[in-house]
Structure formats: structure tokens, C-alpha cells
């Protein structure tokens, strides 16, 4: 399933594999919600992503059911009630690293660049801007970024009985370990 999902993402994005193409099928997205009543965290380590080091085009997608929780009941509510993963099976991002020229993909180092794009969750697409840190080491590239999202912005309905347990803003960490495609 993951292999066909990765192929579909690449075909959908239209990013042609070339010498400047970096890919991963094992990117990570983590989210964390903190309230005085409860902390909720989950992680998805099967995020598919492509980055074009020449143009800055960057995309990623993940299956919603790929998020793992420490609490099985939370995972069930997340998939069935909040994100409705049977109806909306994936989340995706399509954007551009706006100053990709700041990243020297041929030289080990740490680089920071801004990005803009569109994040889609539950078929709702919103503009997202942020800053990514790129660490280049031995030909591999790790990209990290932090964003905050509001569930209500993506039509994620929280029942009145749970509103005190789920933060109005969710912290999201995005980590991609890219390898260059030959």
C-alpha cells in the first residue's frame, strides 16, 4: 500500500525525478496537543515527500491512519470521529522553498529557508508559511519545520465533551530525511 501511495504521490505531483530530486518514503510528522486536562501526541513515520533542490518545489503526503497514538481509544476517536480517515484518507502539502538558493546541497552544513504552500486536511486547503532547517551531511538532507494548526480551520469538529482536552492550536513537527535520486 505504501509503495503504491508513494508512486501515486510522485505521479500526482508531476515532479520529474532528476539529478536535483530528493525523496523519502519514511518522513515523520508528529503532533502534540496540550491542555491542563490532557496531553495528546501522535506520530506518522510513513510520510512520502519530494524536494527539488533546483526549483524549491516541495510536496508531502501521508495516510491519516498512519498516525500512531500511545492510547488506542484516542487513535480510534481521531480516525473515526475527528479526521474521518475512511472518508478523507490523506493529508498533503504542496509548496515551494522560497529561497532554495540559500541551501548548498553539495556542502555539509545547516541552512535555513522560508517556505510557502498549501496544506490540505479533510479536503480543506489552507495557506501555510514557515521556516525549514536543512541539514546537509554526507549527501543526505534532513529538513525540519514546526507549524501550528487549528482543527477548526480544517473542519475538524471537536465534541463539546472533548473541547477541554484538545488544544485550540496543535503543534506539528515535520521531519524529512531525504536521499538524492540518481
Neighbours of 82 (CB within 10 A): 19
Q: What is the secondary structure of 32-98 as a DSSP string?
A: EEE-SS-EEEEEEEEEEEEEETTT-EEEEEEEGGG-EESSHHHHHHIIIIIS-TTTS-EEEEEEEET
Phi, psi dihedrals of residue 79, rounded to the nearest 5°: -75, -40
Structural domains in the chain plus CATH codes:
2-11+22-180 (2.40.128.110)
Please state the rounded mean pLDDT for residues 141-157: 96
- Does residue 19 register a pLDDT over 70? no
Q: What is the mean pLDDT of the chain?
A: 91
C-alpha to C-alpha distance for 106 and 90, rounded to whole angstroms: 33
pLDDT confidence band for 16 (50 / 70 / 90): very low
- The pLDDT of residue 181: 86
Q: Which of 62-71, 129-138, 153-162 has the lowest mean pLDDT?
A: 153-162
C-alpha to C-alpha distance for 55 and 53, rounded to whole angstroms: 6
Neighbours of 54 (CB within 10 A): 12
Residues 6+ apart with CB under 8 A from 133: 110, 111, 112, 143, 144, 145
- Does residue 43 register a pLDDT over 70? yes
Please state the rounded mean pLDDT for residues 149-163: 92
- Does residue 13 register a pLDDT over 60? no
pLDDT tens for each residue of 73-93: 999 999 999 999 999 999 999
Please state the rounded mean pLDDT for residues 46-63: 97
- The pLDDT of residue 17: 47
Are 21 and 51 a contacting pair, CB within 8 Å?
Answer: yes
- What is the percent of the chain with per-residue pLDDT over 90, rounded to a whole number? 84
pLDDT tens for each residue of 99-135: 999 999 999 999 999 999 999 999 999 999 999 999 9
Amino acid at each position: 500500500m505504501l509503495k503504491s501511495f508513494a508512486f501515486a504521490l510522485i505521479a500526482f505531483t508531476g515532479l520529474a525525478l532528476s539529478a536535483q530530486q530528493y525523496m523519502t518514503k519514511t518522513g515523520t510528522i508528529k503532533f502534540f496537543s496540550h491542555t491542563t486536562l490532557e496531553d495528546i501526541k501522535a506520530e506518522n513515520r510513513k510520510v512520502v515527500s519530494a524536494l527539488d533542490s533546483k526549483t524549491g518545489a516541495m510536496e508531502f503526503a501521508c495516510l491519516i491512519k498512519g498516525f500512531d497514538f500511545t492510547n488506542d481509544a484516542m487513535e480510534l476517536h481521531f480516525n473515526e470521529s475527528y479526521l474521518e480517515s475512511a472518508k478523507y484518507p490523506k493529508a498533503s502539502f504542496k509548496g515551494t522553498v522560497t529561497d532554495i538558493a540559500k541551501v548548498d546541497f553539495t556542502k555539509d552544513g545547516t541552512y535555513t529557508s522560508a517556505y510557502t504552500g498549501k496544506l490540505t486536511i479533510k479536503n480543506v486547503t489552507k495557506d501555510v508559511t514557515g521556516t525549514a532547517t536543512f541539514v546537509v551531511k554526507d549527501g543526505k538532507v534532513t529538513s525540519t519545520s514546526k507549524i501550528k494548526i487549528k482543527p477548526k480551520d480544517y473542519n475538524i469538529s471537536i465534541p463539546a465533551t472533548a473541547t477541554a482536552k484538545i488544544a485550540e492550536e496543535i503543534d506539528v513537527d515535520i521531519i524529512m530525511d531525504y536521499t538524492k535520486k540518481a
